[in-house]
Every structure is written in structure tokens, then in C-alpha cells.
Amino acid sequence: MKIICIGRNYTEHIKELANERPESPVVFLKPDSAILPKKMPFFIPPFSDDIHYEVEVILKINKVGKHIDAKFAHKYYDEIGLGIDFTARDVQRKCKEKGLPWEKAKAFDGSAVVGDFIAKESFDLENIDFKLLKNDAIVQEGNTQNMLWGFDELIAYVSNYFTLKRGDLIYTGTPAGVGKVTENDVLIGILQGKENFKIKIK
């Protein structure tokens, strides 16, 4: 399986990092080794002093597809979850300055938190509320109605470049409010008012 991540899909997050608004989705990948095992803490890696959380709604692909038309994209996922795209912001900054790829900053071991998946029929897909709590304080709040590109558009777009396979995950972008984690922080992801994951930082 592969993890396909979408960057810069929420306007306020684009502004907070002073990035340009993209003309098409920004896409990058994480390997399956990036998934943080269930019930395991996240260990801050020794190569970074500035690990940031980025909470995101996740789509779980349920069948093989290539060059998918947006009007049929809804048939290619039936579960939705919540997760974190951990980012070594200091490493990413250096990569950007040199025009280098971001993998060292985005795809390291444990950088992909995956919460519980829920049947998509449980949601109004264009109006999903989600948030991230850090030590019981809300640090990120988002709603899928604020995405630049919706779920079906993202599936159609990425399937032009990558064959989607059963079990693949698509991280659909993060809202504003990203920030640094420190040792002993506790992060809780809330999807439609219910706890979806809980992570301890070590």
C-alpha cells in the first residue's frame, strides 16, 4: 500500500506558511513504513528540532483504479478516517531552500498517524468537522467544505499519475493551526465530535 498526501488544500494553512496558492493539488508520498503502529507513542526523531503536527481527513481506497473520472470517484472509497502528517519543519525548510524533495521531512518512520476508519455513509462528505487537541486545548479545527479540492477531485487527479490500489490512503490536507510538538504532549484527533485517535509524544 502507499500513502498519498495532499499539500496546500486549505487556504488559511497556505497563508500561515506563506506559501503560494497552487493551481493544482500538491502531491507527495509516504512509504508504508511511515505508519505509526497502533497504540504506540510518537518518538521525536533525532534529526529534527521542529516536528509539527498536521491533522488531516484520510480516505481509504477500496479498489483498483486508474484515470478515474471525478463523477465515478465516490465508488473508490467507502471509509473515512483521521490522522496526522508529522512534518520535520526545519528539515523541510532546508529542502525547500535548495529546491530538493521533501521526503526526509515528510516520509520518515512514524510520520503518518492513522486513526479509526468509519463508513462514509455516516458523514455529509462536504461538511465534515474535525479538530486536533494538544494537551486538551484545541489547536486545529477544520471542515471539508473549506478544501480547495474535494474528495472526488483529489481521487480523479492523483489517479492520473498513480494507479490506486485497495488499502491505499489519501491524506486530504490540513487546515490552519499547525505547530510544534514537544516531549510528553498528548494529541487527540476528533472526527465529527468523537475521538478518533490519541497519541503520546516521547
Domains of the chain, first to last? 3-200 (3.90.850.10)
Chain CA centroid to CA 116, Å: 14
* pLDDT tens by residue, the chain, 202 residues: 999 999 889 876 556 655 666 789 999 999 999 999 999 999 999 999 999 999 999 999 999 999 999 999 999 999 999 999 999 999 999 999 999 999 999 999 999 999 999 999 999 999 999 999 999 999 999 999 999 999 999 999 999 999 999 999 999 999 999 999 999 999 999 999 999 999 999 9
By DSSP bridging, strand 3-7 and strand 169-171 are: parallel
Classified as helix, coil or strand, 143 is: strand
63-92: burial string, b at 16+ Cβ within 10 Å, e else = eebeebebeebeebbebbbbbbbbbbbbbb
Angle at 130 between CA 127 and CA 132, to 5 degrees: 165
506559501: which residue's cell?
Answer: 19
* pTM of the full structure: 0.95
Helices (H), 63-108: 89-97, 103-106
Quick check: 111 and 40 in contact, CB under 8 A? no
